Amino acid sequence: MDLSKDNHFGTDMETLYVLGGAALILFGTGLILSNPTVRRYLGQIGVGSFVTAALPDFDRYLKLRNM
């Protein structure tokens, strides 16, 4: 059954599913990161140093993409 032939109901539902899935992923990530044990573990690993090391590469990627 193809719902997107005559109307845009199929594409609207697909968009709703994608946005709902993204919202659930964001909510789940927030729940995981709000746990004190996870925060302590991430503090020991040093995620901040990883992010600062990745920023120059990301900036270079954006400059190449704009060319």
**Residue 37 vs residue 65, higher pLDDT:** 37
Query: Is 3 within a domain?
Result: no
Query: Is 53 within a domain?
Result: yes
Query: Is 1 within a domain?
Result: no
> What residues contact 16, with CB distance under 8 A and at least 6 apart?
none
The structural domain count of the chain equals 1
Query: Is 4 within a domain?
Result: no
Count Cβ atoms below 10 Å from residue 59 Cβ, excluding itself.
10
Per-residue confidence (pLDDT) for residue 55, from 0 to 100? 77
Judged against a pLDDT cut of 60, whether residue 42 lies above it is answered with yes
Per-residue confidence (pLDDT) for residue 65, from 0 to 100? 76
Question: Mean pLDDT, to the nearest integer, of 34-48?
Answer: 80
Distance, C-alpha 29 to centroid of its chain:
9
Question: Which domain covers residue 48, as residue numbers?
Answer: 9-66
Q: Token digits for 19?
A: 């946005």
Per-residue confidence (pLDDT) for residue 7, from 0 to 100? 60
* Mean pLDDT, the chain, integer: 79
Query: Is 2 within a domain?
Result: no
Judged against a pLDDT cut of 70, whether residue 1 lies above it is answered with no
The overall pTM is greater than 0.75: no
